[in-house]
């Protein structure tokens, strides 16, 4: 039975993805450690440090060995790490060649190199989803560049905007996230090979050659020095997950607000029974957005765990490092679930342009009071224009009449503007400023990011 819902056979579909769980589950981690052991043997054989036939036997054994879970659990309980039990199983499977297994390595070399391989797979999964979000939001921004809607500040009507610009604002952080992934990967996908205390003394003059050969064999980069107690790379990876989830949460929050019955400008893509209530047949709750927010809160709560684990003491940590497995896999599983759900929103969001227009007109032109003020300011001065339009706005609100009608009562307005000019100034579609240019700039950034793939 799973204690964490993200690992549950029942609830896991809401909190993560099977693809990311497959990267980080127990057997995947064991397999990656065996991959590292096999690669180490091959490299050391090429360098003449162990017999070639021993390396062949070790690599073959690593491909077929299936550690006994109960025996390995007993070893972990006794030792504190899985490598001793795993290496013992590998050595038994390799027969006489087993005595050359794990030559010159230490536990954390194997575990951290395996973790680097897992992170490589995990970041690739995230990048695929982020790129899809960029593509979908760019298409939405283009599609809705002229779909006018109320812009809201403090949850109240502020000025007209377009849904295309809203999508462009959602889009740009994901463009940045693509760059962040690409810039971060060389700092994260690093082989770990330093021996017992980070000196590789057990391999004499061959230490660096083994480290560089192991990196090449695994498709990882070789760091300038071992990172046993320099955990900034993996802390950065989880911190990135926090940022990525934050951008997903922004979209989810907006979708929840746009989907309110009183607003009803957009809604999550619907399927039969999706977001239904056990008692209210009409309900279509924004379930995907709700779970994006839940995942984001948890991932962001895990970031301090990883950053706190950076304070490893001396050449091998006595506790901070051991906290990482509690945080890192869950952070990536939850993040992948959040970005997959966000991709679903970006690709399938239902947009009601007609409702957006009705909501835009709901205040009778008050949403463009700034436009009127700016139109009068050259003739009256900004302060006087602000005062006049504010008085007209108060009249419109108190009497429930359109702003244009209230403005027509103001001598300061009618002395400068005729009815046609007032109508132009109170038309929300004429007060969109640089929204189109901003959309173009966002689309240019998105195209450039996608072209770099």
Alpha-helical regions (H) of 220-286: 232-258
Tell me if residue 277 is catalytic.
Answer: yes
The rounded distance, in Å, linking the Cα atoms of 4 and 223 is 35
> Which member of 46, 152, 316, 447 is catalytic?
316
Check if the beta carbon of residue 265 is closer than 8 Å to that of residue 231.
Answer: no
Q: How many CB atoms lie within 10 A of CB 273?
A: 7
**Cα Rg of the chain (Å, integer):** 30
The rounded distance, in Å, linking the Cα atoms of 420 and 331 is 58
The rounded distance, in Å, linking the Cα atoms of 361 and 358 is 5
Each residue of 298-327: b (16+ CB within 10 Å) or e?
bbbebbebbbebbebeeebbeebbeebeeb
Tell me if residue 391 is catalytic.
Answer: no
Check if the beta carbon of residue 116 is closer than 8 Å to that of residue 192.
Answer: yes
The rounded distance, in Å, linking the Cα atoms of 158 and 340 is 32
Helices (H) and strands (E) in the chain — how many of each?
18, 4
> Which member of 277, 297, 390, 441 is catalytic?
277
Phi/psi at 311 (5° precision): -85, 60
Active site residues: 277, 316
């Amino acid at each position: 039975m799973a204690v964490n819902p993200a690992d549950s056979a029942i609830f896991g579909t809401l909190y993560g993805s099977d693809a990311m769980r497959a990267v980080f589950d127990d057997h995947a981690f064991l397999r990656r450690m065996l991959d590292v052991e096999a690669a180490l043997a091959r490299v050391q054989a090429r360098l003449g440090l162990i017999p070639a036939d021993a390396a062949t036997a070790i690599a073959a054994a690593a491909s077929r060995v299936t550690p006994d879970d109960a025996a390995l659990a007993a070893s972990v309980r006794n030792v504190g790490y899985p490598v001793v039990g795993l290496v013992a199983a590998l050595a038994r499977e390799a027969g006489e060649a087993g005595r050359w297994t794990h030559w010159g390595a230490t536990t954390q070399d194997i575990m951290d190199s395996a973790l680097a391989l897992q992170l490589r797979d995990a970041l690739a999964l995230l990048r695929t989803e982020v790129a899809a979000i960029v593509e979908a939001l760019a298409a939405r921004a283009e599609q809705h560049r002229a779909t006018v809607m109320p812009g809201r500040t403090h949850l109240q009507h502020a000025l007209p905007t377009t849904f295309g610009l809203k999508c462009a604002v959602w889009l740009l952080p994901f463009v940045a996230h693509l760059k962040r992934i690409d810039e971060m990967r060389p700092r994260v996908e690093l082989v770990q090979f330093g021996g017992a205390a980070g000196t590789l003394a057990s391999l004499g003059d061959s230490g660096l050659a083994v480290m560089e050969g192991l990196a090449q064999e695994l498709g990882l980069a070789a760091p300038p020095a071992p990172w046993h107690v320099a955990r900034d790379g993996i802390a950065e990876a989880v911190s990135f997950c926090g940022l990525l989830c934050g951008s997903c949460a922004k979209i989810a929050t907006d979708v929840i607000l746009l989907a309110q019955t009183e607003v009803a400008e957009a809604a999550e893509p619907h399927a039969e029974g999706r977001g239904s209530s056990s008692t209210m047949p009409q309900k279509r709750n924004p379930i995907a957005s709700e779970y994006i927010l839940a995942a984001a809160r948890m991932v962001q709560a895990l970031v301090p765990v990883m950053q706190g684990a950076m304070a490893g003491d001396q050449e091998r940590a006595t506790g901070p490092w051991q906290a990482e497995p509690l945080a890192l896999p869950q952070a990536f599983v939850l993040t992948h679930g959040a970005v997959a759900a966000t991709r679903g929103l970006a690709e399938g969001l239902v947009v009601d342009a007609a409702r957006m227009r009705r909501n835009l007109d709901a205040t009778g032109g008050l949403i463009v009071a700034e436009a009127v003020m700016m139109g009068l300011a050259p003739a009256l001065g900004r302060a006087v224009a602000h005062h006049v339009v504010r008085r007209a706005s108060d009249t419109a609100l108190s009497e429930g009449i359109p702003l244009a009608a209230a403005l027509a009562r103001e001598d300061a307005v009618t002395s400068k503007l005729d009815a046609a000019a007032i109508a132009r100034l109170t038309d929300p579609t004429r007060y969109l400023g640089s929204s189109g240019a901003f959309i173009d700039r966002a689309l240019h950034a998105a195209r450039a990011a996608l072209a770099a793939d």
